[in-house]
Amino acid sequence: MGQSGEDPKVVLLMGGPSAEREVSLSSGQECACALREEGFDVTEIDAGADLCARLLDAKPDVVFNALHGRWGEDGCVQGLLEWMGLPYTSSGVLASALAMDKDRSKSAFRAAGLPVVDSVLASRETVRARHVMTPPYVVKPNNEGSSVGVYLVHEGSNGPPALSDEMPETVMVEAYAPGHELTTSVLGDRALTVTDILTVGWYDYDAKYRPGGSRHVLPAQIPGEIFEACMDYALRAHDALGCRGVTRTDFRWDAERGLDGLILLETNTQPGMTPTSLVPEQAEHCGMSFGQLCRWMVEDASCDR
């Protein structure tokens, strides 16, 4: 941290080479502006191959990680920051790697007694060639986020999905969970609230990040049992992966099945921090401004996460 009585010098990592670069740039710009308004000295770095050298030149007290996707939230940049002895925000190496790997994170959730749907890993060519699961099902990369490369195969579909060549060689095929899109943020050891996400159709990349792409009901108008279960499951998922700082856990809830219809989809260790993002909305609902949220993240930063 900075000298006694002073706010620390912050380097904010954004952009990077992942499929979620544009979202990260938006998150980073919002966070940098908020931190400056809070009085921090902020240097923005678009993370590239020269990241180590640029960090050495910048000499930060804290690194605010606003990267999304591979390299930024899968343990890679976290390992670099640990190696350099630089305190940083959000989760550490192991938790980041686990959360980004959907198959392994599901194993951790099952071990913690959390409800997840059946899924298999399969090659891209196999999924193109035949149904590897009875429709409806979802096909997604095993190690990306923000609905990048997600295919929904409907019940009664005539054939398997025509996956893009940009999809990885190994993908996850997951049983489709119907119902409400619900999400809960965790801040340290506290679950904030539950948001019900209303969209027309699939909650895809545009629905998440384009203004007007979705409508957020906050707090969610759902039965108290389901609300409390989301809060409990999100905190347990955060702990099961060994997460730190801020996370967001996404659910699907089939109202016709009650509590049995609540399914945990995944936990995001680097949630979006854009104008349409869910974590800042939930924090504000709980009385924490966006600037206060960013300040909390900086003050929570450490090595050995």
Q: Which residues are catalytic?
A: 20, 146, 209, 248, 250, 266, 268, 272
Half-sphere exposure of 140 (CA within 13 A, CB side): 23
Token match 């409508």: residue? 215
End-to-end CA distance of the chain: 16
175: tokens are: 């049983």
User: CA-CA distances (angstroms) from residue 103 to 106, 109, 139, 192, 276?
Assistant: 5, 10, 13, 26, 28
CB neighbour list of residue 10: distance below 8 Å, 6 or more residues apart: 35, 40, 41, 42, 43, 60, 61, 62, 63, 64, 298
Alpha-carbon torsion (38, 27, 208, 114), positive or negative: negative
Helix (H) or strand (E) holding 124: helix 124-129
Whole-number Å distance between alpha carbons of 251 and 264? 5
* b (16+ CB within 10 A) / e for 233-254: bbbbbbebbbbbbbbbbbbbbe
Given a contact cutoff of 8 angstroms between Cβ atoms, the answer to whether 2 and 8 are in contact is yes
How far, in Å, are 141, 191, 200, 237, 253 from residue 229 at the CA level?
Answer: 28, 11, 26, 12, 11
